[in-house]
Chain A
C-alpha cells in the first residue's frame, strides 16, 4: 500500500497587482507518496514554481494562498504552522533546491559556515556535522577539502548546485523539492546531477518532487509525472503512460513539440497560440483556445481531473473520443 508523504487539497494561490488578480494555481489536488520521484512538467507561467513555494509556505506578497490544505505525513498542517515551527519544518521535513543555486548561497560566507547554519538553526538535531558533511560530499561527488573552506564564487555552477544539494540533505528530510535544478547547467553537468539524484533516491529512499519544463529530463528520473497547464494539473500518470500512452491533447502536443536527437524531426510541430491570461479566464477548458479537438462543451465547462484508467488521471472532456 502506497503511503502519502504529502497531501495537497484544493490549493488556490493568487497574485494581486494594482488592477488585477492572477490565479497561479487553481483548486489543485495532488498526493505525493513516500519514496517516489514525482515529476512536475509545465511551461513558464503554469504555476509549477508557485506550487513548490506553496508547499514550503514561502509565498509572499503580492502572492497569497487563498485556499487549500497542505498536509505533511498525515498530521502536519503546513499552512497553519507558525514562524518558529516553519523554520524547523523547512530543511528537516522538506527541503528545496532552486534553479539558480548560486543565488541561494550567501556570497560572503564560507560554504562550511553555511552548512553549519542549517544544523544550528535546528536545535535538538543530534548530528556529527563533520562526518555528515563528508559523507554527503562523497555522495554528490564533491571533494570536501576543495569546497568547504571557500566562498561560493570560487566554485563552478555545477559545484554550487551540488553544495546546495548537500545543504538540502543535511537533515535527511523525507521529501526533497527540486525546482529546475539542472536548467542553468551544461548538459554533462546536468547528466551528472541526475545520476547523483537517482543514486540518492536509491540509497536514502527519499521522496522527490522534480519540477521542470523539459519532458526529456523527467524521462531520466521520474516514476510518475504531473503535466501542468495554466494553474491546473491536466494529466497525471506513470512515466510510461505519459510518454507512450498520453491522453490529454496538451501532453500529446508537448511530446510532439520538443526537438530531440532521436525520433522523427519531420513530424515536429508547435502548439499554436499561447496560454490564457490568468487574470481574466473565461469559462471552459483552459487549453481550448489552442486545442485541435475543441468542441462546444470545452468552451462551456471546465473539465475535472478524473481517473480514466488505473492510476491515470486526465482533465479533458473528449479524452475518450480523441484517443480512439
Chain B
C-alpha cells in the first residue's frame, strides 16, 4: 500500500424514498449518509456491517451502478461528475464488482466461453477469435480452472459453487481493473473452500496490482482478508470506526464495534463460555423511519450520555491510524 489515493469519497449520501402504504406519506431512507473515505492504491479496505447498514449501496455507488443523491467521488483525482465520456468509460472498466451470489451472477444459458468472451470484446481487450480464446485460457488459468478445455464449454449449472465464483472472478479481472469492489464474495461459499477463494483474490492483488474494497458482515473473514490492512465499520449509513485490522479486532473503540465483536461466535468452547455480550439497550436496529437524532447508536449504546442524544459525533482521528465517531473518545 502506498499513499496515493485511488478513490476519494466526499460527503456521499444516498437517499431512497419509500411509503409505508400507498396513502402514507413518503419517507426518506438514508442508506448512506454524508460519508467520506479515502481508498489508497494497493490496499485492502474491508467494510464490516450488519444488513441494512448501507454497505452494499455504498459499493454500488463506487462502481457507478447507483448514483449518489449528494456528494462526490474522485477517481484518480478526477471528480467523476465532471469527467468526459471517454474518461468515464475508463473508470467503469477499471472499477469492477464481484457480487455475493455466484448462482445469480452468471447467465445460466451461456457457456463459460460466452460469458467471458462477452466481457473481453465489449471492453476491446481482444477482437479476433484466436486472441479471445487465448485471453480466456489465460483468465481461467489465473483463477485456477485448469485444464481450461474442461471448463470452457460448460454452463454455470455444471460447475460447483466454488468454480462458479472463480468464473465470476475471472470475469471481473478480464478488463484489467485497478479496483475491485467485492460484496460478500465468499458468503455463499462452503466454509471448507472460503480460504481458497480469499487466497486467490489476494494472489491477484499481488500479481495484477489490484486494490480491494471488500464488503462483508463477517469479522472473521475481514480479519483474514484485510490482514495488515484496514477495516471500516459501518452503522446506518456511516463509518463509525476505521483503523488497522488487528487493532480494530483486538481493541475496538466504538461501542458498536465492541458490541459486534462481543457477539461473534468463536470456534473455541472454552473461550465462548467466558465471553460476554456487551449489554446493549436494544438488540434491534432502529426502525429506519425513527433514527435517533444525535448519535445514531445512542438509543442502543450502554454508554450514552446526554450529549449523545443531542449532538452528532464526527468521525475523527484519535491516534495515528484510528478514527472513531464517538464522544467517549473525544479529547477536549
Q: How far is the CB of A283 from chain B (nearest CB, A)?
A: 23
Is B1 interfacial (CB 8 A cutoff)?
no
Interface string of A296-315 (1 = CB under 8 A from B): 00000000000000000000
Q: How far is the CA of A187 from the CA of B277 in the complex (A)?
A: 11
Kindly identify, within residues 212 to 227 of chain B, every residue whose CB is under 8 Å from any CB belonging to chain A. Answer: 217-221, 223-225, 227
| Set of chain B residues within 8 Å of A44, measured between Cβ atoms | 161, 190
- Chain B CB within 8 A of A271 CB: yes
Interface size on B, residues (CB 8 A): 43
B264 at the interface (CB under 8 A from A): yes
Segment of B145-153, B173-181, B267-275, B324-332 in the binding face? B267-275
B223 touches A43 (CB 8 A): no
Among B225, B267, B284, the one with the most A-chain Cβ atoms within 10 Å of its Cβ is B267
> B3: CB under 8 A from chain A?
no
Tell whether, in the assembled complex, residue B260 and residue A187 are in contact, meaning their CB atoms are under 8 Å apart: yes
A100 CB contacts on chain B under 8 angstroms = none
* Contact yes or no, A216 B265, CB < 8 A: yes
Task: Judge if B37 is at the interface, Cβ distance under 8 Å.
Answer: no
List of A residues within 8 angstroms of B194 by Cβ: 257-259, 270
As a 0/1 sequence over residues 134 to 151 of chain B, the CB contacts with chain A under 8 angstroms (1 = contact) are 000000000000000000
For A257, list chain B residues within 8 Å (CB): 191-195
Q: Do A261 and B284 touch across chains, with their CB atoms under 8 A apart? A: no
| Bound form: Cα–Cα A187–B283 in Å | 10
> B50: which of A188, A195, A263, A265 is its contact (CB, 8 Å)?
A188
Instruction: Verify if B261 is at the interface (C-beta below 8 Å from A).
Output: yes
Chain A: which residue is nearest B287 at the CB level? A156
Q: Does A129 contact B (CB under 8 A)?
A: no
Which size class do A's interface residues fall under? 35 or more
Contacts A254-B191, A270-B192 known; A261 to B264 CB distance under 8 Å?
A: yes
Interface membership of chain A positions 53-80, coded 1 if the CB is closer than 8 angstroms to chain B and 0 otherwise: 0000000000000000000000000000
CB of A274 closer than 8 Å to a CB of B: yes
CB distance from B218 to the nearest CB of A (A): 7
Cα–Cα distance between A27 and B208 once the two chains are bound (Å): 49
B246 → A minimal CB distance (Å)? 9
Mark out the residues of chain B between 162 and 216 whose CB falls within 8 Å of any chain A CB in the assembled complex. Answer: 162, 190-196, 198-199
Residues from chain B with Cβ under 8 Å of A239 in the complex:
269
Q: Which residues of B contact A195 (CB under 8 A)?
A: 277
Q: Answer yes or no: B51 CB below 8 A from chain A CBs.
A: yes
Does residue B27 face the partner (Cβ distance < 8 Å to A)? no
Given A219-B269, A259-B224, A268-B224: A187 in contact with B263 (beta carbons within 8 A)? yes
By a CB distance below 8 angstroms, the chain B residues around A156 are 284-285
Nearest to B266 among chain A residues (CB) is: A262
Q: Which residue of B lies closest to A184 (CB)?
A: B51
Min CB distance B220 to A, Å, is: 4
Q: How far is the CA of A219 from the CA of B218 in the complex (A)?
A: 17
Asked if A255 lies at the interface with its beta carbon under 8 angstroms from chain B, I say: yes
With A191-B277, A265-B223, A265-B227 in contact, do A216 and B50 touch (Cβ < 8 Å)?
A: no
Query: Judging by beta carbons under 8 Å apart, are B269 and A270 in contact?
Result: no
Q: Is the CB of B191 within 8 A of A258?
A: yes
Chain A residues positioned under 8 Å from B161 (CB to CB): 44
Q: Is the CB of A187 within 8 A of B266?
A: no
Given that A43-B190, A215-B267, A265-B223 are contacting pairs, would A192 and B283 also be in contact in the complex, using a CB cutoff of 8 Å?
A: yes
Question: A319: CB under 8 A from chain B?
Answer: no
Cβ contact within 8 Å between A271 and B220: no
- Bound-complex Cα distance A255 to B217 (A): 20
Known: A259-B194, A274-B193. A186 touches B266 (CB 8 A): no
Contact present for A214 and B265 (CB under 8 Å): yes
Chain A's nearest CB lies how many Å from the CB of B118?
27
- Provided the pairs A43-B191, A270-B196 are in contact, do residues A188 and B266 lie with their beta carbons within 8 angstroms? no
Q: Nearest chain-B residue to A260 (Cβ)?
A: B220
CA distance A270 to B267 in the complex (A): 16
| Neighbouring B residues of A269 by C-beta, 8 Å | 195
B259 within 8 A of A: yes
- Tell which of B160, B162, B195, B217 has the most Cβ of chain A within 10 Å: B195
Chain B residues with Cβ below 8 Å from A259 are: 194-195, 198, 218, 220-221, 223-225
List, in ascending order, chain B residues with CB within 8 A of A270's CB: 192-196, 199
Instruction: Mark interface residues in A11-31 (1 if CB within 8 Å of B CB, else 0).
Output: 000000000000000000000
A255 touches B267 (CB 8 A): yes
B221 touches A158 (CB 8 A): no
Q: A156-B284, A270-B192 are in contact. Are A261 and B227 (CB under 8 A)?
A: no
B221 cross-chain contacts in A, Cβ below 8 A:
259
Roughly how many angstroms separate A43 CA and B162 CA in the complex, as a whole number? 13
Q: Shortest distance in angstroms between A56's beta carbon and chain B's nearest beta carbon?
A: 26
Q: Which of A217, A255, A261 contacts B261 (CB under 8 A)? A: A261
Chain A residue with Cβ nearest B260: A187
Proximity bits, A189-209, B CB within 8 Å = 1, else 0: 111101100000000000000
Tell yes or no: A240 within 8 A of B by CB: yes
Interface string of B234-260 (1 = CB under 8 A from A): 000000000000000100000000011
Known: A220-B272, A259-B220; 7 extra A-B contacts, CB below 8 A, are A158-B284, A159-B284, A188-B260, A257-B194, A262-B268, A272-B196, A274-B160
25 A-B residue contacts at CB 8 Å?
A44-B161, A156-B285, A158-B283, A186-B217, A188-B50, A191-B265, A192-B277, A215-B267, A216-B264, A219-B265, A219-B267, A240-B269, A253-B192, A254-B191, A255-B267, A258-B191, A258-B194, A259-B220, A259-B224, A261-B266, A262-B271, A265-B223, A268-B195, A270-B194, A271-B193
Contact surface of A with B, Cβ cutoff 8 Å: 43-44, 156, 158-159, 186-192, 194-195, 213-217, 219-220, 239-240, 243, 253-255, 257-263, 265, 268-272, 274
| 5 closest residue pairs by CB, A with B | A270-B196, A216-B265, A191-B263, A271-B192, A259-B224
